[in-house]
Amino acid sequence: MTKLHNPWPYPQLVAHRGAGRQAPENTLAAFRLGASRGFLMMEYDVKLSKDGVAVLLHDDTVDRTSNATGIAGDRTLAELADIDFGAWHSPQYAGEPIPTLYSIAAYTLANGIRSNIEIKPTTGLEAETGTQVARLAQKLWAHADVPPLISSFSEQALEAALQEAPMLPRALLIEDEVPADWQQRLEKLQCIGINPSNRHITRELIGAMCAAGYHVAVWTVNDADRARDLFNWGCSAVITDEINTMAPGKFHFG
């Protein structure tokens, strides 16, 4: 297991779902906007289409972020490609397509952007999604100087990713309060870090996590003062929607 004496190989400021508030989340348009604000790392959600293609989408369904309805995993890539994933956000993004992991890897690698790939399986496909996403990520980033960070709330998906591509670094996402056995879970999954919720993380917990050798990346942090506190307590990174005041070059760490 990698300990904290191994440096965090990623930027400290991470754009959540690209620029997922100011542009349609998890789309190339959001990535371009985040990059235009100076972000050099993006966090994004990946699941599988019906025909096993890794695509970017947060929810099980397409309802919230498109002009269609239904479970994304019930559609092939060709069917998903016919859906508008931009107009729901604002007219200027009408026609924005769903990206594949392949296309996002090409964009991020060409532009020097690091990736935090969150495995976001369709319910019931946790292990399969972990395996397929890890396999593809290992292939797409095979010649990259820094591999993507693989994270998930699903321990089953992370276990599958570990078995498929053990060299890819992993982090366990925590939705609610940090469980008492967090260290045992990280050890089992051979994680380099833990990504707890900003709502439930404390200075004491961060201290314990760092002392145990783990990197801490907190989500979702949209207040600059809170972010400074987290960094002072030992966080390696924060994941943010606030691409303006917390943009690299504008955010002051101390």
Is 58 annotated in the active site? yes
DSSP summary character for residue 88: T
Catalytic residue among 58, 89, 200, 252: 58
CB 71 within 8 A of CB 60: yes
**Catalytic residue check, 5:** no
* Terminal C-alpha separation, the chain: 31
- Take residue 158 and report the two structure tokens written for it: 């992370």
DSSP three-state, residue 210: helix
**Long-range interactions of 84-87: CB distance < 8 A, separation 24+:** 85/24, 85/27, 86/24, 86/27, 86/29
How many CA atoms, within 13 angstroms, populate the side-chain half-sphere of residue 22?
Answer: 17
8 Å CB contact between 156 and 130: yes
Catalytic hit among 16, 89, 143, 215: 16
Q: Which residues have a Cβ under 8 Å from the Cβ of 14 and sit 6 or more positions away?
A: 39, 41, 42, 43, 116, 217, 237, 238, 239, 240
Q: Where are the alpha helices (DSSP H) in 50-100?
A: 77-81
- The closest alpha carbon to 89, from 66, 71, 72, belongs to 66
- Give the catalytic positions in this structure: 16, 58
